[in-house]
Amino acid sequence: MTIQWFPGHMTRARRQIQDKLKLIDVVIELLDARLPVSSRNPMIDEILQGKPRMILLNKSDLADAKVTQEWIEYFKKEGITAFPVDASTGTNVKDIPTQARLLLKEKIDRQIAKGINPRAVRGLIVGIPNVGKSTLINRLAGRNIAATGDRPGVTKGQQWIKVGKEMELLDTPGILWPKFEDQNVGYRLAVTGAIKEEILNAEDIAFFGIGYLMRYYWDSLEERYGLQEFSKDADDSDSVIAIMEQVGRIRGCVVSGGRIDLEKASRAFLRELRAGKMGRFSMEAPY
């Protein structure tokens, strides 16, 4: 597997965020609830330079609720305000301005004590591609302003957006890069759709995804694809391929001679997995 990230690109992304930090009071760091480690920039603390920040575990509708709760407790122990959200339906999104003000409470209280009327809290959303930054901005703004898509890399523009009376957001989020040194990180990101399929091969990603579900979420997989007679030995590549073929059979990915088109089957599987059709799953737990 080769994933290339260019140092120039990272430096530019980092500088863009640091320029924006000067304009804002609080950072809203968006992570994918299914993989809070892999979807986190490894240098985030250094990049944020001590700016008050909260972590939102987005796409919590797709993640294992029990594991998400463990993550919330984990971040709490680290002294970081964190809570699950679902930007696509708006679950918990209304708590963001309140939590942002809480983070700045001391500063706001000092202003009030001096008789100054505190202005709206200014926030910046940061996160890796496809984590849901634009969807969240639109949700907070209550209208469609940021470009959203199911492919990484569609965010554009720059202005302040009012979120009620108490908060303002920069309409262009800060784009962070994920950590790529570890091959499994790359695959986890690819399974959830954060990395384009042109970079990693769809069959390899699906192979990884099926293996993962075989290990940790067998029942969901079994139910969806009728795998009652199949082996659930994820360490045996023949068993994994047999399941991929079954997916292909069920989804009509059959070519001449009855052979299964594994590439097509892989894409079908990934589409369904990413859309939550196999139920909720998490790929990383804190403990």
Ligand X SMILES: Nc1nc2c(ncn2[C@@H]2O[C@H](COP(=O)(O)OP(=O)(O)OP(=O)(O)O)[C@@H](O)[C@H]2O)c(=O)[nH]1
Binding-site members for GTP are 58-61, 130-135, 174
Going by the annotation, the residues of the binding site are 58-61, 130-135, 174
Residue 88 binding ligand X, by CB under 6 A = yes
Residue 57 binding ligand X, by CB under 6 A = no
Residue 41 binding ligand X, by CB under 6 A = no
The contacts found for 196-201 with CB under 8 angstroms, 24 or more apart, are: 196/151, 196/152, 197/267, 197/270, 199/3, 200/1, 200/3
Listed in order, strand segments (DSSP E) in 24-102 are 26-32, 53-58, 81-84
Residue 252 binding ligand X, by CB under 6 A = no
Residue 153 binding ligand X, by CB under 6 A = yes
Residue 155 binding ligand X, by CB under 6 A = yes
Cβ proximity to ligand X: between 59 and 188 the closer is 59
* Burial class of residue 204, CB neighbours in 10 A (0-12, 13-18, 19+): middle
Q: Tell me which of 118, 152, 157, 279 binds ligand X, using CB under 6 A.
A: 152
Q: Which stretch binds ligand X (CB under 6 A): 11-19, 20-28, 37-45, 85-93?
A: 85-93
Q: Please say whether the beta carbons of 85 and 54 come within 8 A.
A: no
- Distance between first and last Cα of the chain: 28
| Closest among 201, 127, 16, 11 to 135, alpha carbons compared | 127
Tokens linked to 58: 């987005």
Q: Tell me which of 97, 132, 174, 178 binds ligand X, using CB under 6 A.
A: 132
Residue 135 binding ligand X, by CB under 6 A = yes
Residues within the interface to ligand X (CB under 6 A): 58-59, 61-62, 86-88, 127, 129-135, 148-150, 152-155, 175
